């Protein structure tokens, strides 16, 4: 073939062809930015690339033909080289597509990994929080301090408190979130806790636990009452200066077990409103996961009494 | 003759107080003037008995150890005792303040006491005390109540009682239906420690509770329940519109 084409014409040809190539490369870039093909519809991306390549070839052909119409020699050459021009565009577009796809894939993979990492971190944090919550450092260290005091003056009492504390901790550590226990068992554990707290706070803390004997064998999720009693003691004791009565009562009828935990509070300070804190929220969530109901935890304010009521379907 | 020192033991747990008293028996030159059950009692006892130093628990009913310190104009030297309080421990570390972690050994206890006795009368402890108190209270979450002292009586104000807050020199005037209480704090402290949906700083010198707004008299004033007319600034008006969704 004779390639005798003036340098100016060749230059324009190259410029136009490359401009079209740049144009479709940009279109592809934008396409892939907003549309990430999955393996199934990768086919469409290939069709789209072919269409773009064909468009670019046709576009540059029309423009060059229009621009150099009188130069028959050149237009003939242009026409003859149409196939090779098209194939070249397809090759280039293919390369660009693969390149962009790889970059996007890598980016997505990275953000997916980051998300996964974040999820794992959050789960770990929650676990750590739960562990801490279970151990209740404030309660634990204060109890140990009380034991330290008793060891000097009343060693027998110190020994029995160590006993109670150990039994309490062992039970807490053995718990499995989904496990159900009888009311009797749960109240026994609760009683250990109350005994320890009574040693700590002395005469300020009064407790009463009342159960209908016929409810004793009904089942409830393990350690579901304890956080409520903790809350009651915290708000009861830290919100008033005098003797505080924490009352636990359990009743059952019509296939339901209802437990109420009552503590006094000072209506003048708004702290009791904070009783909707973490303890209640986590119990509500646990009960929801087990019974698929959201209405099992209620809180009632009656004059200067704060009542938390939980209902366990049987 | 050995110099005599006096102290108070302020802790809401009786056994914790007994332990301190027992450990103190080996110090013949220290006299315990009183034991206090809570912050209120502690406050009164400090004012009337003027001890050289106090043992102070942090978590106590009604007002905690730091809230008690904040109310004192001339606090005695303090030996902090605490079982577990993240904020407190961080505040102590940051201000190089010695503290006793319950349960503590007799050895550790004696070191802490000797240290405080050696420091008595120097100004060193006082400035550190002010700093650690401020540090701790600053780190607290959103306020749920405000502890004030009025004519030597401690009063705990519920947030609902607040009509509005007004800057007043180094103090903040807390306006309530019962009258005005003064608190030595800054406007920005209250701005950052009150829920920003419930309280709005409408002016350099004024913070108002959202629910108390009766009428807005743009662009200069807002009328509150009880009839107070509060000036608002341009930025205050913008915030007001945002919170009220206007």
Side-chain-facing half-sphere of A50: CA atoms under 13 Å: 6
Residue B201: which H helix or E strand, with range? strand B199-203
Q: What percent of chain A has pLDDT over 90?
A: 25
For chains A and B, CB pairs below 8 A equal 83
Q: In sequence order, what DSSP letters do the residues of B114-177 get, joined into one string?
A: HHHHHHTTSSHHHHHHHHHHHHHHHHS-S-SEEEEEETTEEEEEEGGGEEEEEEETTEEEEEET
| Mean pLDDT score, A165-180 | 79
| Mean pLDDT score, A118-130 | 67
Q: What is the pTM of this model?
A: 0.69
The matching CATH number, chosen from 3.30.565.10, 1.10.260.30, 3.30.420.130, 3.30.1490.190, for A137-313 is 3.30.565.10
Q: Torsion angle, CA of B88/B90/B92/B93, rounded to 10 degrees?
A: 160
A242 vs B207 pLDDT, higher one:
B207
User: Cβ of B19 and A152 within 8 Å?
Assistant: yes
Query: What is the number of helices (H) and of strands (E) in chain A?
Result: 9, 7
Contacts of B67-72 spanning 24+ positions with Cβ under 8 A? B67/B39, B67/B137, B67/B147, B68/B10, B68/B39, B68/B42, B68/B43, B69/B129, B69/B133, B70/B133, B70/B137, B70/B147, B71/B43, B71/B147, B71/B149, B71/B154, B72/B43, B72/B46
Cis preceding linkage at B103, omega within 30 = yes
pLDDT, tens digit, 9 for 90 and up, residues B205-220: 999 998 888 888 877 8
pLDDT, tens digit, 9 for 90 and up, residues B54-92: 999 998 888 889 999 988 888 899 999 999 888 888 888
Q: What pLDDT band is residue B180 in, cutting at 50, 70 and 90?
A: very high
Out of B18, B83, B145, the one facing A153 most closely (by C-beta) is B18
The whole-number pLDDT of residue A275 equals 47
The whole-number pLDDT of residue B45 equals 94
Out of A141, A202, A240, the one facing B14 most closely (by C-beta) is A202
CB A261 within 8 A of CB A225: yes
The whole-number pLDDT of residue A122 equals 67
Out of A152, A239, A268, the one facing B61 most closely (by C-beta) is A239
CB A36 within 8 A of CB A104: yes
User: Cβ of B13 and A153 within 8 Å?
Assistant: no
Report the distance separating Cα B132 and Cα A98, nearest Å: 61
User: Cβ of A146 and B85 within 8 Å?
Assistant: no
The answer, yes or no, to whether residue B244 has pLDDT greater than 90, is no
Domain boundaries, chain B: 5-139, 145-244
The whole-number pLDDT of residue A6 equals 81
Instruction: Using an 8 Å CB-CB cutoff, list residues of chain A that contact chain B.
Output: 137-138, 140-142, 144-150, 152-153, 199-202, 204, 237-241, 268-271, 274
| Mean pLDDT score, B173-200 | 90
- CB-based burial label for A246 (10 Å; 0-12, 13-18, 19+): buried
Q: From B15, which residue of chain A is nearest by alpha-carbon distance?
A: A146
Among A180, A177, A88, CA closest to A96 = A88
Cβ of B198 under 8 Å from any chain A Cβ?
no
Q: What pLDDT band is residue B26 in, cutting at 50, 70 and 90?
A: very high
Domain boundaries, chain A: 7-125, 137-313
| Mean pLDDT score, A268-286 | 63
The answer, yes or no, to whether residue A272 has pLDDT greater than 50, is no
The whole-number pLDDT of residue B165 equals 95
On average, the pLDDT of chain A sits at: 83
The answer, yes or no, to whether residue A123 has pLDDT greater than 60, is yes
Q: Which residues contact B74 (CB under 8 A, 6 or more apart)?
A: none
The answer, yes or no, to whether residue A132 has pLDDT greater than 80, is no
Q: What pLDDT band is residue B11 in, cutting at 50, 70 and 90?
A: very high
Cβ of B62 under 8 Å from any chain A Cβ?
yes
Q: What pLDDT band is residue A2 in, cutting at 50, 70 and 90?
A: low
Q: From A141, which residue of chain B is nearest by alpha-carbon distance?
A: B83
Interface of B with A in 27-46 (CB under 8 A): 37-38, 40
What's the CATH code, domain B145-244?
2.40.50.1020
| Mean pLDDT score, A242-255 | 90
| Mean pLDDT score, A65-87 | 84
pLDDT, tens digit, 9 for 90 and up, residues B109-120: 999 999 999 888
| Chain B residues whose beta carbon lies within 8 Å of the beta carbon of residue A201 | 12-14
The whole-number pLDDT of residue A146 equals 95
User: Cβ of A237 and B61 within 8 Å?
Assistant: yes
The pairing of beta strand B206-209 with beta strand B199-203: antiparallel
Task: Find out if CATH 2.40.30.20 is the number for domain B5-139.
Answer: no
Q: What percent of chain B has pLDDT over 90?
A: 44
Q: Which range, of A87-96, A193-202, B51-60, B156-165, averages the lowest pLDDT?
A: A87-96
Would you state the structure tokens that stand for residue A229, as one six-digit string?
């009693």
The whole-number pLDDT of residue A127 equals 62
Report the distance separating Cα B200 and Cα B195, nearest Å: 9
The whole-number pLDDT of residue A40 equals 63
């Amino acid at each position: 073939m004779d390639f005798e084409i003036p340098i100016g014409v060749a230059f324009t040809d190259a410029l136009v062809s490359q401009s079209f190539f740049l144009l479709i490369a940009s279109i592809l870039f934008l396409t892939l930015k907003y549309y990430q093909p999955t393996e199934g519809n990768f086919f469409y991306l290939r069709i789209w690339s072919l269409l773009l390549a064909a468009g670019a070839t046709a576009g540059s052909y029309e423009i060059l033909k229009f621009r150099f119409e009188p130069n028959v020699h050149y237009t003939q050459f242009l026409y003859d080289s149409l196939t090779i021009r098209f194939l070249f565009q397809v090759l280039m577009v293919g390369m660009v597509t693969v390149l962009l796809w790889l970059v996007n894939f890598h980016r997505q993979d990275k953000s997916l990994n980051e998300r996964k990492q974040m999820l794992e971190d959050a789960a770990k944090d929650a676990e750590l929080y739960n562990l801490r919550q279970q151990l209740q450092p404030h309660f634990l260290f204060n109890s140990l301090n009380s034991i330290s005091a008793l060891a000097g003056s009343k060693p027998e009492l110190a020994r029995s408190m160590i006993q109670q504390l150990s039994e309490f901790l062992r039970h807490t550590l053995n718990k499995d979130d989904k496990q159900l226990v009888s009311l009797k068992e749960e109240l026994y554990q609760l009683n250990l806790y109350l005994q320890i707290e009574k040693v700590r706070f002395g005469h300020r803390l009064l407790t009463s636990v009342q159960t209908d004997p016929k409810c004793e064998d009904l089942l409830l999720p393990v350690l579901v009452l304890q956080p409520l009693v903790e809350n009651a003691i915290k708000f009861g004791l830290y919100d008033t200066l005098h003797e505080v009565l924490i009352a636990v009562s359990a009743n059952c009828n019509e296939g339901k077990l209802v437990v109420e935990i009552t503590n006094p509070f000072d209506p003048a300070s708004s702290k009791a409103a904070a009783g909707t804190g973490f303890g209640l929220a986590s119990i509500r969530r646990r009960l929801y996961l087990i019974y698929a109901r959201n209405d099992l935890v209620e809180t009632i304010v009656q004059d200067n009494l704060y009542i938390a009521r939980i209902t366990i379907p049987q | 003759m050995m110099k005599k020192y006096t102290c108070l033991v302020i802790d809401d747990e009786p056994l914790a107080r007994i332990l301190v008293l027992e450990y103190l028996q080996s110090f013949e030159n220290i006299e315990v003037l009183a034991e206090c059950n809570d912050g209120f009692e502690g406050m009164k006892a400090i004012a009337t008995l003027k001890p050289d130093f106090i043992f102070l628990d942090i978590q106590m009913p009604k007002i905690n150890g730091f809230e008690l310190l904040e109310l004192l104009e001339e606090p005695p030297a303090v030996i902090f005792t605490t079982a577990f309080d993240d904020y407190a421990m961080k505040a102590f570390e940051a201000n190089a303040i010695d503290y006793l972690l319950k349960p503590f050994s007799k050895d550790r206890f004696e070191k802490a006491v000797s240290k405080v006795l050696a420091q008595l009368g120097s100004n060193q402890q006082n400035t550190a005390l002010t700093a650690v108190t401020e540090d701790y209270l600053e780190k607290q979450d959103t306020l749920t109540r405000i502890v004030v002292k009025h004519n030597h009586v401690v009063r705990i104000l519920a947030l609902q009682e607040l009509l509005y807050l007004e800057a007043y020199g180094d103090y903040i005037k807390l306006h309530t239906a019962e009258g005005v209480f003064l608190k030595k704090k800054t406007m920005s402290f209250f701005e950052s420690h009150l829920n920003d949906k419930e309280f709005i700083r409408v002016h350099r010198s004024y913070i108002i509770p959202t629910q108390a707004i009766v009428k807005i008299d743009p662009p200069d004033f807002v009328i509150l329940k009880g009839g107070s007319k509060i000036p608002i600034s341009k930025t205050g008006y913008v915030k007001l519109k945002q919170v009220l969704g206007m």
